Structure 1
Amino acid sequence: MNAIISASQLESDLAGENPPVLLDVRWQLSVAKAAGEPPFDGRAAYEAGHLPGAVFVDLDRELAAAPGAGGRHPLPDVAEFGAAMRGAGVSSGRPVIVYDGGQGWAAARAWWLLRWTGHPDVRVLDGGLTSWKGALETATPKPSAEGDFEPAPGAVRLLDADGAAALARSGVLFDARAGERYRGEVEPIDRVGGHIPGAVSAPTTQNVGTDGRFLPAEDLAARFRELGASDGTDVGVYCGSGVSGAHEVLALAVAGIPAALYVGSWSQWSSDPERPVAVGADPQ
């Protein structure tokens, strides 16, 4: 099954016999703001207009645990995640479509978590809310019934720090962040810039076109092959905190390439001064 869905196909599915649950996961990375500029408020954006019937999901509270030793967006408590998903109407026998404002990172995090915990049918709206041409609503819907989804972690591969380090040597480990952060030229958030030794720079922003939609599957497959993901290669991904990396895992899925995610990512790796840091364009 394709991991993404077009707006036109979603419109058709919503009119079908088993319409999908819609999850709105609007979120933006928190970085230094200009003086007086308020932080992005995903719920406020949702309340200003969302897909009809969509339920808001808070990435920082429902798709991640509190920042700490596991990084800035560590895995959520599985029981709490399951309760949040059931409260949003998620059931194992009903498709789920997740979307965000258009960047795709937050939606991909929700997609990955649902896949990791065993949901069989979850897709991301390609292009996010900006691709939707239909009407929006401002009312907050209440699911007609609580869902029955019971998370069962482990359905897709998960890497820890040691596993990511090993994969960088034995397979290919993609760094989904911007190239300047990979090279260590800037680091606006974490303790130090650079990358995991052996990791290959593969910014996830290059997986989409100017309209925010993913490149064709064959183009994505060609890109990843050029970066080292040939047939049979063991592939992993990390980013800053396991959000944009989920988007790269999604792009790899569109290309037909399974990949593991290191959720702790650079925020966890770089917090430990004992772990090595490489800088520059060379994976080393």
Structure 2
Amino acid sequence: MTHLIDAASLAAALTASTPPRVLDVRWKLGGPPGAQEYAAGHIPEAVYVDLDTELAGHGLPTDGRHPLPTPEDFQDAVRGWGLNDGDEVVVYDDVSGTSAARAWWLLRHAGFASVRVLDGGLAAWRAAGGALETAANIPERGTATVAYGALPTIDADSAAGFPAAGVLLDARAGERFRGEVEPVDPRAGHIPGAVSAPTTENLAADGMLLPADVLADRFAALGVTQDAPVAVYCGSGVTAAHEILALEVAGFRAALYPGSFSAWSNDAQRPVAMGA
């Protein structure tokens, strides 16, 4: 299926007799929550989704900053967004899909078959002349059922051995991978054997995802092939989902390490590598 939708196609779909459900997933590392931006203007009929409380659970530091919510908690959130089984869903943000992709990944992992990310996010919607509204959309509670397992994941033990069997991509900025800076996690560096693959490099200058063939060439240069498994991590499992989106557009299947480096770096028994 197509994992992206452009602004013009979304505008047309919203006029159909059965429009897609639209979720606003604005979020930035360190906050504040995107609720204020949502209130200032959002795509018509969009429902606000709080990434920190609805797309993540809570646990020990060794679980990471954004562990997956329990299936029960996620089902409660999904129903609160008004979703029913079989709904088509479109997710967007204002950071070129790098936070909305967390909702895209979780919904697909939970069994939703049709979930797309608005390519270019809210900036693309505005550039296409899309209207905004400020009234909060509180939908009727849905009845969707959630069952995790549709997409692959790995844990810390698998991440430790992954580079020997496949390619482990680190979706964070290069300076964090190299250990030059670390703004939030207790140790700097990366999982030994991982390959630096900043997810921002999957985007064009206008914030749109690069074409599939360009992405395929990029990942091939990083060692990704159809013959070996691929897994992705980032700081807390958010931008890694966007890297998985880019990989799928390019024709590759990849697993997510949900705990990511925030979980890894909080475990003193796990080694950390520095440099390029």
For the aligned pair, the TM-score class normalised by the smaller chain equals over 0.9
1:72 aligns with 2:65: yes
- Compute the displacement of 1:67 (Å): 5.2
Structural mapping, 1:1-284, within 5 Å: 1-30=1-30, 39-66=31-58, 68=60, 69-132=62-125, 133-143=129-139, 145-281=140-276
Q: Is the 8 A contact 2:26 2:34 kept in 1?
A: yes
Partner of residue 33, structure 1: none
Aligned residues: 272
Q: Is the 8 A contact 1:6 1:125 kept in 2?
A: yes
- Compute the displacement of 1:91 (Å): 1.7
Task: Describe the SS at the equivalent of 1:97.
Answer: strand
- Compute the displacement of 1:53 (Å): 0.3
- Compute the displacement of 1:86 (Å): 1.1
* 1:209-242 residue CA offsets vs partner (Å, 9 max, x unmatched): 1111100011001100110111222000000000
Q: Is the 8 A contact 2:191 2:272 kept in 1?
A: yes
Determine the C-alpha separation between the residues in 1 that align with 2:70 and 2:196.
30
- Compute the displacement of 1:92 (Å): 2.1
Determine the C-alpha separation between the residues in 2 that align with 1:41 and 1:248.
23
* 1:47-89 residue CA offsets vs partner (Å, 9 max, x unmatched): 0000000000000000001253310001112111111111111
Determine the C-alpha separation between the residues in 2 that align with 1:72 and 1:227.
27
Determine the C-alpha separation between the residues in 1 that align with 2:104 and 2:141.
19
Amino acid at match of 1:50: H
Task: Describe the SS at the equivalent of 2:232.
Answer: strand
Q: Is the 8 A contact 1:92 1:120 kept in 2?
A: no
Determine the C-alpha separation between the residues in 2 that align with 1:85 and 1:20.
14
Q: Is the 8 A contact 1:18 1:94 kept in 2?
A: no
- Taking structure 2 as the reference length, what is the TM-score of the superposition? 0.96
**Compared CA separation, residues 96 and 41, structure 1 to 2 (3 A):** same
Task: Describe the SS at the equivalent of 2:99.
Answer: helix
Aligned sequence identity (%): 57
Task: Describe the SS at the equivalent of 2:43.
Answer: coil
Determine the C-alpha separation between the residues in 1 that align with 2:27 and 2:253.
26
- Compute the displacement of 1:269 (Å): 0.3
RMSD: 1.1
- Taking structure 1 as the reference length, what is the TM-score of the superposition? 0.93
Task: Describe the SS at the equivalent of 1:158.
Answer: coil
Determine the C-alpha separation between the residues in 2 that align with 1:41 and 1:89.
21
Determine the C-alpha separation between the residues in 2 that align with 1:97 and 1:90.
12
Gaps of 5+ in 1: 31-38
Q: Is the 8 A contact 2:42 2:132 kept in 1?
A: yes
* 1:114-164 residue CA offsets vs partner (Å, 9 max, x unmatched): 011111110110111111121100011222x32221111000001111111
Determine the C-alpha separation between the residues in 1 that align with 2:269 and 2:155.
16
